[in-house]
Amino acid sequence: MAIVAPSLLAADFLHLSNECTLVNNSQADWLHLDVMDGRFVPNISFGLPVIEQVSAIVTKVCDVHLMIEEPEKYAEAFKKAGADHLTVHFEVCRNLHRNIQQIKELGMKAGVAINPHTPVAALQDILHEVDIVLVMSVNPGFGGQKFIPHTLVKIQELRKMINERNLQVYIEVDGGVTLANAKQITDAGADVLVAGNTVFKSADPVATIAALKSL
């Protein structure tokens, strides 16, 4: 059964308290929180004050995804704001091993994300150090994009690498996840489904989360 992580980016920001309560009352396992800086990705989302407020009322795991440059400058602040997981991008970390160690030393689960153009093989020498690999199935920066089909091949490759080395690493998939393709994604080897518009723009978000869990 997949871990379901609704993405707050697609929520109604005028009623965030209600949206957090909705997630609390659902079968969701994690709440995915996308932080964008307008530099690494062409968009700006939300930051520490929002995560601090949300983490205070959400009873689910706070899964923070940093789409920002120089994430090491902010790791401690995100821990204080309530992050349980902190994922950084392979593409921006010059010293990725150091970044991962910093996150772990702060007491969070450490993740590394890869963009659609980054090959899975690039993680060969860091895979044993991380708790989560987040595979971007769209180009990062905006919600509502269509799933890139080649991502399924990348998930399969990553699952093979993890299994061959007997590692305990979650494969998380972010971007274009729908009720129509979720089973394909988990069948390929994914553990965690990040779903934004699919959940928050649906007529019944709680039922949609339950449907994703049951696939």
CATH 3.40.50.1980 fits 3-214, yes or no: no
Given a contact cutoff of 8 angstroms between Cβ atoms, the answer to whether 67 and 92 are in contact is no
pLDDT in tens, 49-73: 999 999 999 999 999 999 999 999 9
Q: What are phi and psi of 174, to 5 degrees?
A: -130, 115
Q: Which residue of the set 29, 37, 131, 174 is catalytic?
A: 174
Euclidean distance between CA atoms 70 and 61, whole angstroms = 24
Interval 108-140: pLDDT, tens: 999 999 999 999 999 999 999 999 999 999 998
How high does pLDDT run on average in the chain? Answer: 96
The answer to whether 125 is a known catalytic residue is: no
Give 142's pLDDT tier (boundaries 50, 70, 90): confident
Rounded to whole angstroms, how far apart are CA atoms 16 and 86? 21
Beta bridge partners of 33: 64
Give yes or no: 34 in active site. Answer: yes
Phi, psi angles (nearest 5°) of residue 81: -75, -10
- Residues with Cβ within 8 Å of 175's Cβ and at least 6 positions away in sequence, in order, are 136, 137, 138, 140, 145, 147, 148, 151, 194
The span from the CA of 11 to the CA of 5, in Å, is: 13
Answer for the pair 170, 131: CB distance below 8 angstroms, yes or no.
yes
Distance between CA 102 and CA 116 in Å, rounded?
25
Domain boundaries, the chain: 3-214
Query: Among 34, 37, 131, 191, which one carries the catalytic annotation?
Result: 34
